[in-house]
Amino acid sequence: MALHFPPHLHFPLLFLITICLCMNSTFAGKALNLYPFFQVYANGTVHRYEEIKFVPPSNNPKTGVQSKDVAILPQKGVSARLYLPKISRKNQKFPLLFYIHGGGFCIQSAFSPLYDSYLHKLTAQANVLVVSINYRLAPEHPIPACYDDSWDVMNWAARWKEPWLKQHANFSRVFLAGDSAGANIANNMMIRASEESHFVLSPVGMALVDPYFGNGKPDELWTYLCPKTNGIDDPRFNPAAHPKILSKLKCSKIYVFTAGKDYLRDRAWTYYETMKKIGWKGELRIKETEGEGHVFHLFNPTSEKAKDLMNTLVHFLGCSMIRHGYYVNSESRVSEFRITVIIFINVLAFLIAYA
């Protein structure tokens, strides 16, 4: 049975319904659930599913690793945790690693138990001085805040005033590394470092562990956290779609890590394939850990596969492989060899024909 309203109520009712629909869509547009990261209530409050945990810096008597926190831009809340390996001689210099933590640009911290324990281990095993960057998190501080903060920390370090850095960092051996969103930020920092001629540090290498470059599908997290983005092919989000920018990367070596069951795996490979295709002159490698998911090495650090990943990273940061200037990757060595053979055959044919 249809409901009948007296004609004089039609307009007020329609008006009321319109108002209700409008209000509903306004609030529905604001409320958002981005599990497992956070939820935004209709009133605009952001609720993270996992609260951000902190541990203080500490010195490890077993490994000799020391750590401390430095406020870099206190008014913004930008800071870093520094890790210094065991010192065995006065003024000993170590490679300098800028590490950028992951967490979808919106969770985790350089001061969390997860990253603190991971970087204590990495410092001890790789013998590198680590600056673990604590950038501001989205959505309260929308992207590009994380990029700007990380860049500010790198410039702060480059001023060479901080006592540990001044005494113990070898500025000829600077590395960048990060996992997940941190790997995304690391790549963006390497692009900035390559583009900006006044930046005094020239990083030699970069490790991208399970980088968050999306997976080719619409990405609600990225588009929400970066309000001014033009979408998932934004050069900051999907660098492989912009080979011209990637070809500018000035470091000597890049190692991409991914995992077989990582939902972000495909774009890690696309990044690697694109770098290869454009003939980037550095040494380029990729390692996929089979049967594991996104950042498994952080959640299960004592597993054999996590140890293997750690060893590979340690080797990558190690002294033995470093050389100034560009590396030639094995692919282009093969093609150079091919060209040499072709030239040789041609010369031989020429000599035979005219001898």
Ligand X SMILES: *[C@@H]1O[C@H](CO)[C@@H](O)[C@H](O)[C@H]1NC(C)=O
Q: Which stretch binds ligand X (CB under 6 A): 40-48, 118-126, 292-300, 303-311?
A: 40-48
Of the pair 143, 313, the CB lying nearest ligand X is at 313
CA 140 to mean position of chain CA atoms: 20
Q: How far is the CB of 317 from ligand X (least distance, A)?
A: 12
Contacts of 42 (CB under 8 A, 6+ apart): 27, 28, 30, 31
Q: How far is the CB of 204 from ligand X (least distance, A)?
A: 8
Q: How far is CA 98 from CA 29, 88, 171, 247, in A?
A: 38, 22, 12, 22
Residue type, 245: I
Q: Which stretch binds ligand X (CB under 6 A): 131-139, 170-178, 182-190, 240-248?
A: 170-178
Q: Which stretch binds ligand X (CB under 6 A): 20-28, 165-173, 206-214, 307-315?
A: 165-173
Of the pair 33, 346, the CB lying nearest ligand X is at 33
User: Interface with ligand X includes 41 (CB under 6 A)?
Assistant: yes
Q: Which stretch binds ligand X (CB under 6 A): 11-19, 156-164, 169-177, 276-284?
A: 169-177
Nearest residue to 144 (alpha-carbon basis) of 229, 38, 47, 267: 229
Q: If you write DSSP's letter for every residue of 58-70 in order, what string do you get?
A: ---TTT--EEEEE
User: Interface with ligand X includes 160 (CB under 6 A)?
Assistant: no
User: Interface with ligand X includes 120 (CB under 6 A)?
Assistant: no
Specify the residue for token string 């640009």.
Answer: 105
Of the pair 46, 55, the CB lying nearest ligand X is at 46
Q: How far is the CB of 65 from ligand X (least distance, A)?
A: 19
Name the token pair of 271. Answer: 């990044």
Strands (DSSP E) contained in the chain are 32-34, 38-40, 46-48, 66-73, 78-84, 94-100, 129-134, 169-179, 205-209, 253-259, 283-289
118, 159, 107, 59 alpha-carbon torsion, rounded to 10°: 30
Query: Which entry of 180, 247, 320, 335 is annotated as an active-site residue?
Result: 180
Binds ligand X (CB under 6 A): choice among 45, 75, 88, 320: 45
Secondary structure class of 286 (helix, strand, coil): strand
Backbone CA torsion sign across 32, 33, 39, 41: positive
User: Interface with ligand X includes 172 (CB under 6 A)?
Assistant: yes
Instruction: Fill in the DSSP letter of residue 239.
Output: G
Binds ligand X (CB under 6 A): choice among 6, 29, 36, 43: 43
Restricted to residues 308-327, the positions that interact with ligand X (CB under 6 A) are 322
Of the pair 90, 228, the CB lying nearest ligand X is at 90
Whether residue 180 lies in the annotated active site? yes
Of the pair 5, 27, the CB lying nearest ligand X is at 27
Binds ligand X (CB under 6 A): choice among 86, 93, 276, 281: 93
Q: Which stretch binds ligand X (CB under 6 A): 38-46, 213-221, 225-233, 325-333?
A: 38-46
Of the pair 170, 332, the CB lying nearest ligand X is at 170
Which residues does residue 283 pair with via DSSP β-bridges, in sequence order?
253
Q: How far is the CB of 328 from ligand X (least distance, A)?
A: 18
| CA R_g for the chain | 25
Say if CB 179 and CB 209 are below 8 A apart: yes
| b/e code 234-246 from CB counts within 10 Å (16+ = b) | bebbbbbbeeebb
Binding-residue total with ligand X (CB under 6 A): 8
Name the token pair of 306. Answer: 């996590």
Query: Residue 94: how many CA atoms within 13 Å on its side-chain side?
Result: 27
Q: How far is the CB of 173 from ligand X (least distance, A)?
A: 5
User: Interface with ligand X includes 173 (CB under 6 A)?
Assistant: yes
| b/e code 130-149 from CB counts within 10 Å (16+ = b) | bbbbbbbbbbebbbbbbbbb
User: Interface with ligand X includes 170 (CB under 6 A)?
Assistant: yes
User: Interface with ligand X includes 73 (CB under 6 A)?
Assistant: no
Of the pair 167, 247, the CB lying nearest ligand X is at 167
List residues with catalytic annotation. Answer: 180
- Chain residues binding ligand X by CB under 6 A are 41, 43, 45, 93, 170, 172-173, 322
